[in-house]
Amino acid sequence: MFQKSHRRARALAAIAAVAAIGLTLAGCSSSSSSTTAGSADKGNITWWGWTPTTALAANLIKQFNKQYPNIHVTYKNYQDQSFASALRPALASNVGPDVFNTLVGGSGAAISIYGVDAVNLTPAIEKLRGANWKTGLYPAGVTDFTVGGQLKGVPVGKVTSGFMWMNAALMNKLNLKEPKTLAQWTSECKTIRAAGYGCLTEGVDAAGFEVDTLHSIANSVDPGYWTNATNGKAKWTAPQMVKTLTIWKSLDTDGILNPGALGIQQYPDANNNFLSGKSAFVQMGTWYRQYADVPGLTAGLQAAGVSSSTAKVPIVPVPFPNVGGSTGALFGDPDYGVSVNKKSKNIAAATTFALWLGATKEGQQVIANNLDEDPVLESVKADLSTVQLVDPTVQSPYLDSLAATLSKGVTEPRLANISASLDQAIEDAASSVLGGQATPAQAAQTLQGASGQ
């Protein structure tokens, strides 16, 4: 699952259907970062990922080519659900990508699974940044992409979840405020539906975005319980989990969750529904900031096949409502990293590109300004003077509030401590409760058994 990046991150987040872009642009050269398998400053390389979108990737490659004009990068973008199924046979062959996205935790392209196919980048990053190369880099990113003492992926960005995005124009039109409690949310959803709109759009069909929603609910029920459960320090059969699953079910029965959630995917279905103004809320993380920006939203709507005449939605981040009695904390992880294929015929050029993305100020500044990721290089911040918000007056206070919260630090992990099997078990529990195949207590019992605790 990729929540961006889930997604997750993954995750994060691809809107377009499978698309490939070959981008060759110009600029001035820089020093090499590797001496193995080909030239470090020229060559043709391919990059596969579910994120960023093709538009954001184009900007990244354009800026990269200002320094490395002779490294030609072709980016292939996959939908979340299809990435891992395409990557596995490709890496087993001799014609796989030179650079490929990887994740920490969860299922899909986990570094724990595909690190064996990746080049050890430790010598190259030491050459680039010196013996103290870890200094100034997001510590969790370094730790989580290290396998067996070797850096098998360069962390590119970090993401945070545990909040929602709201259609500010729709809520203002209906004279409604952001919901603070479950009762208020239920009441407002009735008004929203009576006006002909959806309330919370979410895809529970695949990719596991509901894991974030369950985590948010659990944090409201008992802050810290979810992390303890995923670490094996609390039982999944505990009353907190039963209550979490009970509230999850109530989102459906009380009319908060849009009908048909089990039959749609977060990308593209729920995403397109929200961005086109058809629903009031969607649970996504910091990766969704790219759609607060006019160019980002325009590209997203185009990729979704939405008419160019569709009004652009001023989306804003709002706290997840207090549905369980407490104010929940945010949770986050390194999002995606980029790994270099051991079978690549252009390892040196691929390494140059991977390190530029995640370990140079130039690359990290582009990552930050794209808004879909927070940079992993601590000295880099987004240049918001370059951002063209859809409605600055409405959006700025919400975005500033989120930034202030993030600046205090996010210590609770999102996916890093969730194995592929546990992730699948959580998804199955969510689906069985929502579909009526199991009660919350039964699903919790099944989840406990599947967790191996």
- Per the CB < 8 A criterion, the answer to whether 244 and 218 are in contact is yes
Going 202 to 203 to 207 to 210, the CA torsion angle's sign is positive
Beta strand 71-77 with 19-23 is antiparallel
Which token pair is 80? 């979340």
Q: What is the pLDDT of residue 206?
A: 64
Which token pair is 402? 């989120």
- CA 7 – CA 4 distance, rounded (Å): 3
Which token pair is 275? 């961005």
- Each of the 453 residues of the chain gets a pLDDT tens digit; together they read 333 443 444 333 333 333 333 433 333 333 333 346 789 999 999 999 999 989 889 999 999 999 999 999 999 999 766 898 899 999 999 889 999 999 886 557 889 899 999 999 999 999 999 999 999 999 989 999 999 999 999 999 999 999 999 999 999 999 999 999 999 999 999 999 999 999 999 999 766 789 999 999 999 999 999 999 999 999 999 999 999 999 999 999 999 999 999 999 998 899 999 999 999 999 999 999 999 999 989 988 887 788 777 889 999 999 999 999 998 899 998 889 999 999 999 999 999 999 999 999 999 999 998 888 899 998 998 887 788 999 999 999 999 999 889 888 888 999 888 887 898 899 999 999 999 999 999 999 999 998 877
**How many alpha carbons fall within 13 Å on the CB side of residue 281?**
26
Residue-range domain boundaries for the chain: 19-159+334-386, 163-329+416-451
Give the orientation angle of helix 210-221 with respect to helix 239-253, to 10 degrees. Answer: 120
Beta strand 154-155 with 336-340 is antiparallel
CATH of domain 19-159+334-386: 3.40.190.10
Q: What is the pLDDT of residue 33?
A: 37
The phi and psi torsions of 197 (rounded to 5 degrees) equal -115, 165
**Is the pTM for the entire model greater than 0.85?**
no
Q: What is the pLDDT of residue 425?
A: 92
Query: What residues are paired with 317 via a beta bridge?
Result: 165
Q: What is the pLDDT of residue 39?
A: 92
Q: What is the end-to-end Cα distance of the chain in Å, rounded? A: 22
- CA 408 – CA 410 distance, rounded (Å): 7
Rg of the chain over CA atoms, in angstroms? Answer: 21
Q: What is the pLDDT of residue 31?
A: 36
* Sheet bearing 315-319, strands edge to edge: 198-201, 279-282, 163-167, 315-319
SS3 track for the chain: CCECCCECCCCCCCCCCCEEEEECCCCCCCCCCCCCCCCCCCEEEEEEECCCCHHHHHHHHHHHHHHCCCEEEEEEECCHHHHHHHHHHHHHCCCCCCEEEEECCCCCCEHHHHHHHECCCHHHHHHHHCCCCCCCECHHHHHHCEECCEECCEECEEEEECEEEEEHHHHHHCCCCCCCEHHHHHHHHHHHHHCCCEEEECCCCCCCCHHHHHHHHHHHHCCCHHHHHHCCCCCCCCHHHHHHHHHHHHHHHCCCECCCHHHCCHHHHHHHHHHCCCEEEECCCHHHHHHHEHHHHHHHHHHCCCCCCCCCCCEEEEECCECCCCCCCCEEEECEEEEEECCCCCHHHHHHHHHHHHHCHHHHHHHHHHCCCEECECCCCCCHHHCCECCHHHHHHHHHHHHHHHHCCCCEECCCCCCHHHHHHHHHHHHHHHHCCCCHHHHHHHHHHHHCC
What's the CATH class of domain 163-329+416-451? alpha beta
- Per the CB < 8 A criterion, the answer to whether 131 and 97 are in contact is no
Closest CA to 430 of 224, 187, 266: 266
Check if 19-159+334-386 and 163-329+416-451 are the same fold: yes
- CA 37 – CA 14 distance, rounded (Å): 31
- Per the CB < 8 A criterion, the answer to whether 191 and 185 are in contact is no
- Per the CB < 8 A criterion, the answer to whether 83 and 49 are in contact is yes
